[in-house]
């Protein structure tokens, strides 16, 4: 196997003065690598997780040269255009740096070379479908966020009335994720090419089945026969993925590039921890992910429940009290004893007893790891990154726990605090009178008056929460109203005291 640095120096600037010489380069000849996997949504998480896993495989096995990644971007935004320039227009030949920080500040950096192509859909939508029709593409993976699957919260059906989808159904060249997937599958079916596997890597319970409903629902609007064929022939493996990948600000970018000595337009940073549990359902083949510790097992749903209802739920539980307290960084909030106590109490008392873990998994060990990961001071992860799009994330990570607590007559105060804090967060002002950005793209226009109403119960009728039935539970309403009042009059510290008091007080 060739261990070459050919092409790196003219593409990513040579080590800069003051940088380190410890940044590793791909341990394989990228000229020999072709794409077998297409990924839609090349954000920071994909780059530090799946991109790194495949980079490791390409560097350790000579028989994996057909498993490079073709990245696909479909969002027409300034940040997406900047990445397209870096990835697709030969400024960096799809290379990027990943810097990993442990809790004690130990730093290791690498150049990742597993993405060998990049297509920016808004510039050439026809090229996206054409590339996905290539028989060499055996897997199409997705990181499009929890709210990106366009399913109705009540019925679970694919929403054809969403404006972008409605427009896509009239276009010659579709532009949305599921419009593109449907068109590519239709073309492959027509050409007699076996369908690629669709692998969701988003934080959703049964994310494979969620992707199936979205693909089949979109296909049904095009052709019922295509929908039936897709449902019968396309594989949608479930997966659980985990690694913290903070947003990289301009200041962070400069610091990372100083540390690596490389002028990277789109560096990424992450933690030491990583996990991937995957259902082994890939009819056209897959990379040997198990070589790198990926857990290939049929009980993915159990791991999804653990991560979603403990780790992701705790992330959300932290974010709104932290934002209202004026914290900028997740690590600052996680090192606040009261907030750490809130997370530990929520996990141990509320969530963990409702989660059935596999026999070889210790929930006690898992819970102790969660707050420790959040508290890593070397990961500049912002509270608002976690808090944003709560309308999409809260139903995914908290609805099951809240409903079960009410059903069994358990103490719902931590869940009540979460919703009371979310309601207050939507005002965009913290306890000190400072404004912060509120980004809630999945809230409907009709939701905002409910969240800002003088009657706090109206917020429980907003679209993310209406189906939970919380307003009909006196056991939930009483602490919720108390916490709304405490947050408004006394602020987060007093509200936390109430939420953490013994249940008989």
Provide φ and ψ at 215, rounded to 5°: -65, -50
Q: Which residue has the tokens 């070589």?
A: 291
Do the beta carbons of residue 72 and residue 243 sit within 8 Å?
no
pLDDT, tens only, 243-287? 999 999 999 999 999 888 888 888 999 999 999 999 999 999 999
pLDDT, tens only, 351-382? 999 999 999 999 999 999 999 999 999 999 99
Do the beta carbons of residue 322 and residue 177 sit within 8 Å?
no
The closest of 330, 336, 412 to 373, measured between CA atoms, is 330
Q: Are strands 197-200 and 139-142 parallel, antiparallel or unpaired?
A: parallel
| Alpha-carbon gap, residue 230 to 183, rounded angstroms | 11
Residue 298 CA: distances (Å) to CA of 54, 235, 274: 22, 14, 20
Q: Half-sphere exposure of 164 toward its Cβ, with a 13 Å CA cutoff?
A: 14
Give residue 147's pLDDT band: very low, low, confident or very high (50, 70, 90).
Answer: confident
CA quadruple 494, 495, 501, 505: dihedral positive or negative?
A: positive
Q: Which helix or strand (DSSP H or E) is residue 112 part of?
A: strand 107-112
What is the mean pLDDT of the segment spanning 407-427? Answer: 97
Q: Which helix or strand (DSSP H or E) is residue 393 part of?
A: helix 390-407
Retrieve residue 324's tokens.
Answer: 């209202």
Burial 224-254 (b: 16+ CB within 10 A, else e): eebbebbeeebbbbbbbbbbbbbbbeeebbe
Give residue 386's pLDDT band: very low, low, confident or very high (50, 70, 90).
Answer: very high
What is the mean pLDDT of the segment spanning 480-501? Answer: 97
**Measured over all CA atoms, what is the biggest interatomic distance in the chain, rounded to whole angstroms?**
68
Q: Where are the alpha helices (DSSP H) in 261-360?
A: 300-306, 313-325, 330-334, 337-345
Q: Got the DSSP string for 407-419?
A: HTT---HHHHHHH
Report the pLDDT value the prediction gives residue 265, as an integer from 0 to 100: 86
Roughly how many angstroms between the first and final C-alpha of the chain, as a whole number?
Answer: 67
Average pLDDT value over all residues in the chain: 92
């Amino acid at each position: 196997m060739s261990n070459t640095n050919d092409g790196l120096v003219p593409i990513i600037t040579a080590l800069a003065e003051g940088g380190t010489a410890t940044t590793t380069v791909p341990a394989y000849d990228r000229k020999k690598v072709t794409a077998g996997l297409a990924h839609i949504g090349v954000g920071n998480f994909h780059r530090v997780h799946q991109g790194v896993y495949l980079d490791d495989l390409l560097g350790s096995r000579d028989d994996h040269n057909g498993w490079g990644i073709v990245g696909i971007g479909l969002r027409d935004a300034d940040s997406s255009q900047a990445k397209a320039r870096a990835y697709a227009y030969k400024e960096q030949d799809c290379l990027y740096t990943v810097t990993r920080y442990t809790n004690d500040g130990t730093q290791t950096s690498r150049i990742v070379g597993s993405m060998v192509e990049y297509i920016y859909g808004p510039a050439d939508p026809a090229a996206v479908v054409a590339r996905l029709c290539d028989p060499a593409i055996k897997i199409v993976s997705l990181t499009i966020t929890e709210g990106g699957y366009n399913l109705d919260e009540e019925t679970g059906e694919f929403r054809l009335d969403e404006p972008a989808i409605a427009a896509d159904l009239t276009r010659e060249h579709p532009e949305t994720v599921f419009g593109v997937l449907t068109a590519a599958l239709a073309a492959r079916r027509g050409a007699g090419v076996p369908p690629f596997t669709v692998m969701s890597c988003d934080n959703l319970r049964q994310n494979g089945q969620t992707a199936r409903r979205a693909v089949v629902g979109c296909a049904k609007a095009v052709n019922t026969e295509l929908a039936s064929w897709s449902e019968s022939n396309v594989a949608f493996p479930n997966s659980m993925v985990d690694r913290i990948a903070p947003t990289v600000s301009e200041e962070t970018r400069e610091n990372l590039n100083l540390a690596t000595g490389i002028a990277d337009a789109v560096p990424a940073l992450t933690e030491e921890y990583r996990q991937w549990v995957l259902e082994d359902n890939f009819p056209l083949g897959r990379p040997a992910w198990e070589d790198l510790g990926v857990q290939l097992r049929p009980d993915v749903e159990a791991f999804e429940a653990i991560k979603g209802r403990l780790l992701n739920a705790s992330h959300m539980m932290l974010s709104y009290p932290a934002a209202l307290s004026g914290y900028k960084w997740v690590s600052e909030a996680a090192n606040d004893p009261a907030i750490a106590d809130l997370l530990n109490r929520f996990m141990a008392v509320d969530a963990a007893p409702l989660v059935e873990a596999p026999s070889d998994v210790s929930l006690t060990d898992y819970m102790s790891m969660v707050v420790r990961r959040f508290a890593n001071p070397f990961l500049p992860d912002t509270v608002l990154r976690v808090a944003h799009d709560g309308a999409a994330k809260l139903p995914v990570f908290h609805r099951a726990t809240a409903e079960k607590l009410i059903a069994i007559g358990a103490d719902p105060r931590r869940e009540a605090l979460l919703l009371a804090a979310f309601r207050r967060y939507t005002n965009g002002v913290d306890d000190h009178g400072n404004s912060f950005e509120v980004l809630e793209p999945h809230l409907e226009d009709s939701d905002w008056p409910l969240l800002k109403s003088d009657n706090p119960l109206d917020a429980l009728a907003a679209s993310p929460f209406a189906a939970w039935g919380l307003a009909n539970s006196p056991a939930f309403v009483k602490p919720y109203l108390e916490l709304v009042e405490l947050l408004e009059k006394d602020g987060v510290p007093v509200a936390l005291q109430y939420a953490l008091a013994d249940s008989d007080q």
